Structure 1
Amino acid sequence: MIKNHLNIILLTIVTVSAILTSIKWMIPIFAWIMPVALLAYVRRNSGWKSILLGIIFLGIGSGIAGYKVIPLPPHIFPVVMLIASFVTFIPYLVDKWLVDDKWRGFLSTLVFPITAVIIEYLMSLDPSQGTWGSIAITQYGNLPLMQLVSLTGIWGISFLIYWTASVINWIIENSESGNRAKAFFGFKIYASVLFIIILFGSVSLIPSFINTDKQVRIAAISAPTAEMDEVIKTAYKAETNNELLNFSIKNFVPGTPKTSEGFSGLDAFFKNAKDQKFDPVHEKLEQYHNTLFALSQREVDGGAKIVVWSEAAGIIFLEEKDEFIQRGQEFARNNQVYLVLGISVQRPDSEKGDNLAITISPDGEVLNSYGKSIPVPGEASLAGDGIIPVFETEYGNIAVAICFDADHPGLIRQIGLKEADILLLPSADWSAIVPYHSYMSVFRAIENGVSLVRPVSNGQTLAVDSRGRVLFSTQETATSGWVPVNKTKTIYPYINDLFVWMSILGLFVIIIVRKLFIPRLIRQKK
């Protein structure tokens, strides 16, 4: 009876923690609590029924957490959540397989965290996922801890969270068996490691260690919602002869019936733009673009030297591309500023267009046309070449990438190797992932030691320095602020995911020792 009650308590904690850790609430402490409870449950139970029950409870929490966040059809979403829960469960099963009464030394606490890190890393290699789902992201805002990623990438934070769960369970198990001295010894080792990590992060944040003497004022321009809504509603009316009610681009969720209905007119417009019935849409789109340039001019008049638009802020057709870029060149030349145009180029003869960031210098030269390297699953955009451009300017070395690119550390690592000072990241989100997605990109800034400016349509525009400290953050359509230029040297870009490879090697050695040598020693003693 006691065991059953304990199981219910543990599984309830797992489900609640999975929900509160999610991007909808993102309460950091629950990211530490959930693996403690789930590991305790798995270690105290055996048999496939108990495992299945644990996966179901975890799946329920993950499902509630991921609702409207992951744009999947309703009949597919539960299946995906259960599969994801099973994958999440793998480190717990490996821990149960390797850690038992025959081997419960302090080194056994490493099995669970290194396996969890390996699983997270393997999942991040999926281009459709990246670092979404990494438990490390939940620790946004804990600046001393976040500095660890400059050495290990996000895997170091994930390891620490999972190791904490393993150590707590190990201490409890040893205390229950009367080995309190052993438990205290393990606690001292863990506390020492944690102290060193926090000390490193705290020292890294000391102002005198960060050179902020050189700064540049950067403007972040996102798609004006009211004007974009007018474009969408006009296109819908032109296509259907009906009014589009209760719809705003600001509240859209990909894959939902309401979103599909709202964008149906715009989709028809993209395919048949020369049809006379869409003439009013062209007029609204021109007004929309005029607003973007007017907002840019306002920020330039306020002192901005670099202007960066959000992802796909400009919406143009292939035959209009050169003319639109020329308008940007004229703007940059007249104002003597750097301009990064985030534009979506529609191709009427193709299902996919181009998601571009066009960088223009103060003399009107097009420095680069960067295509988004990793489009979001379902995005109607062609993938770019995967090379992140870095430009040498009087305001330091400036890198440009687009939104989802920054969810892939291996891709963004290029900017650290190329000695970039600032990363400009045009982006677009939807309401369910705001402001979480902006927070995710901050880890790339710290990993590579760069300042970050992330203008976001339908989301939280964010700028941080190379240590992740917020410079400005807003959901306003246009804003600007001072951004440090000087790069912070970090190790991660050069050693890449060495921490993960060490984890893989460590797990391999543990399996060999645990399954071959320890049983042999036990037989010899008998």
Structure 2
Amino acid sequence: MKIWKAIAATTLSAALFHFGTGLHPIGWLTWLAPLPVLLLAPRVDAGTAPIAGFFAWAVGQVAMWPYFLDVVEMPLPVVAASQLGTALIFGLTVAAFRALLLRGRPLSAATVVPAAWVVTEYAVSLALPHGAWWSLAYTQADVLPVLQTASATGVWGITFLLMAVPSAIAVVLRPGLIRSRAGGPGPSPTPHVRGVIARSAGGEASGARPRADGVRVAAVFGAVVLLALGYGGWRLRTAPAPRGEKVALISTDHPNDVIALDSPQGRDLVNRYASRIERLASDGARVVVLPEKTFLADDDTLPTLTRPLARIARTHRVDVVAGLVRSRGDALYNVALDFPASGGEPVEYTKHHLIPGLEDDLRPGKDLAFAPDTQWGLIICKDLDYPDLVRSYRAAGATALYAPAWDFGDDGWLHSRIAVVRGVENGLAIARVPRAGQVTVSDPSGRIVAEAATTDAEFVTVTTALPAPAAATLYTRLGDWFAWLCIVVLTLTLGAPLLRPRRAGQAARPKRI
């Protein structure tokens, strides 16, 4: 019978992970996904628990394999290592939860799951060339009270909450196990043995300790969740007033490719964009932003783009930001050019973080760039997957970021919400305009001020007042402090048995020969 319970719990967790994560997550399911296997863990043997955890995560993430292999074009060994490696870590985390719970350490058991997963996400963000792209936190990007936690802890605090709630519930609902005097778990004692244990412990009733432990765990983790939600409500008590400057984002998926400026299609696309930019500027737009890698240009063909856009910028007093691939010498760069309203020379920003495989022919940049006479920073697509880069912009005085981008269609929602979360982390307004994705403008609290899908029309335009920045956040000042705190907590939780001094008079166990 236990094998069928294990299969049922694993299947249910896998289904919840499937629908609660990925490119289109159902956010409330994410909170429940680990619960079935965590409830199972103390009810099965030490070998079954990690296997259930492994398959719950591995099967729940199967739908992501085609995206990684076919869309992002990651090598199969990398996909297999990352997907199966994280499944292994989740399985070991379930095993650690079980072991701590059966050893009479319920608070540690409830803590080890969220701490371990935060450490895993943080390690992956440092080890793989994709930044903090992979995190459960983005599933809550539309849940504003929860999302505010990112302004204090980054995505790591949201991940902690998501794993802490099911972990605490599983502890509270655990079977009524009693720790033996030797400290090891065993089968449920008979009533006679329970009475002996209770009397030897000073008369403690057989169910008193589990109940007390459950109350303590519920109180601690309930307080953590209430604190996070209270903080979120406090941050959302008022909406930031718009600055008044109007920003316009304009994109087309036709064509959805890089177009050389010296081709008829390239010159036609310049004219189509220019006429729309001029119309938007005449209607009061202060900034107009185009997508990433719209054009391909070298020093000879670049004037085909710079002449009309610079004229519009100067004549209408509007900053125009355009994304293009620029050839310089024997190197190619993914850049965003800001044509300033003042009529000066364009400001160039070069993308820092290139997509492995898809952008191996490009060279990265390393400098920040601002529109002249403003606090508006320029950034490109994948750069928003890197919290440190956005923190650097805020530390340098940025109040808003303009982000030309290029998505892959089905991942448009996720990429747009990653950008939203970066804004919440640092108190910034984000205006992001992709091809094949979601055009979005968000305020520093993560509210979507304006949004449209690029598939809605041949040319999609989003126009709105630019949201005002918020005060500098704790995350901007302290960075990934919460991830490091989880590293310390995880180390102490798993290492406590090794650090605990032997009780006086406790005989050492004989070694097996």
- Shorter-chain TM band: 0.7 to 0.9
Mapped to 1, the partners of 2:69 and 2:318 lie a distance apart of 38
Bigger radius of gyration among the two: 2
Aligned length: 470
SS at match of 2:506: helix
Q: Which residue of the partner structure matches residue 245 of structure 1?
A: none
Distance change >3 Å, CA 475–CA 182, structure 1 → 2: same
Contact conserved, 1:155 with 1:500, CA < 8 A, in 2? yes
Mapped to 1, the partners of 2:286 and 2:92 lie a distance apart of 54
Q: Is residue 298 from structure 1 mapped to residue 279 from structure 2 by the alignment? A: yes
Q: How does 1:128-167 map to 2 (within 5 A)?
A: 128-167=129-168
Mapped to 2, the partners of 1:299 and 1:160 lie a distance apart of 43
Long gaps (5+) in structure 2: 179-206, 455-459, 509-513
Contact conserved, 1:118 with 1:504, CA < 8 A, in 2? yes
Measure how far apart 1:88 and its partner are: 4.0
Q: Which residue of the partner structure matches residue 183 of structure 2?
A: none
Contact conserved, 1:39 with 1:169, CA < 8 A, in 2? yes
Distance change >3 Å, CA 75–CA 159, structure 1 → 2: closer
Alignment TM-score, normalising by the size of structure 1: 0.82
SS at match of 1:286: helix
Q: Which residue of the partner structure matches residue 231 of structure 1?
A: none
Q: How does 1:363-442 map to 2 (within 5 A)?
A: 363-366=342-345, 368-380=347-359, 381-391=361-371, 393=373, 397-442=375-420
SS at match of 1:366: coil
Mapped to 1, the partners of 2:94 and 2:50 lie a distance apart of 13
Q: Deviations over 1:375-428 (max 9, x none)?
A: 1122335343333324563xx511111000001111211122123111111111
Deviates more, 1:490-499 or 1:307-316: 307-316
Q: Is residue 214 from structure 1 mapped to residue 195 from structure 2 by the alignment? A: no
Q: Which residue of the partner structure matches residue 202 of structure 2?
A: none
Mapped to 2, the partners of 1:105 and 1:58 lie a distance apart of 23
Mapped to 1, the partners of 2:106 and 2:60 lie a distance apart of 32
Contact conserved, 2:404 with 2:432, CA < 8 A, in 1? yes
Q: Which residue of the partner structure matches residue 16 of structure 1?
A: 15
Q: How does 1:258-273 map to 2 (within 5 A)?
A: none
Q: Which residue of the partner structure matches residue 511 of structure 1?
A: 494
* Higher percent of residues as helix: 1
Measure how far apart 1:128 and its partner are: 2.6
Q: Which residue of the partner structure matches residue 475 of structure 2?
A: 492
Which aligned runs of 4 or more in structure 1 are off by greater than 6 angstroms? 72-75
Alignment TM-score, normalising by the size of structure 2: 0.84
Mapped to 2, the partners of 1:73 and 1:475 lie a distance apart of 20
Q: How does 1:115-126 map to 2 (within 5 A)?
A: 115-126=116-127
Measure how far apart 1:480 and its partner are: 1.1
Mapped to 2, the partners of 1:64 and 1:445 lie a distance apart of 28
Mapped to 1, the partners of 2:452 and 2:34 lie a distance apart of 33
Q: How does 1:89-488 map to 2 (within 5 A)?
A: 89-94=88-93, 96-97=95-96, 99-126=100-127, 128-173=129-174, 178=207, 179-207=210-238, 210-212=239-241, 214-222=243-251, 224-226=252-254, 228=255, 249=256, 282-346=263-327, 353-366=332-345, 368-380=347-359, 381-391=361-371, 393=373, 397-476=375-454, 477-488=460-471
SS at match of 2:449: strand
Q: Deviations over 1:359-390 (max 9, x none)?
A: 12112223521111001122335343333324
Measure how far apart 1:459 and its partner are: 0.8
Contact conserved, 1:59 with 1:81, CA < 8 A, in 2? no
Mapped to 2, the partners of 1:79 and 1:384 lie a distance apart of 22
SS at match of 2:348: strand
SS at match of 2:63: helix
Task: Supply the AA of the counterpart residue of 1:288.
Answer: L
SS at match of 1:315: strand
Task: Supply the AA of the counterpart residue of 1:490.
Answer: T
Measure how far apart 1:213 and its partner are: 5.4
Contact conserved, 1:56 with 1:82, CA < 8 A, in 2? no
Mapped to 1, the partners of 2:117 and 2:504 lie a distance apart of 29
Contact conserved, 2:406 with 2:435, CA < 8 A, in 1? yes
Q: Which residue of the partner structure matches residue 26 of structure 1?
A: 25
Task: Supply the AA of the counterpart residue of 1:172.
Answer: L
Cα root mean square deviation, aligned: 2.9
SS at match of 1:472: strand
Contact conserved, 2:323 with 2:404, CA < 8 A, in 1? yes
Long gaps (5+) in structure 1: 229-248, 250-262, 274-280
Distance change >3 Å, CA 521–CA 89, structure 1 → 2: farther
Mapped to 1, the partners of 2:56 and 2:213 lie a distance apart of 33
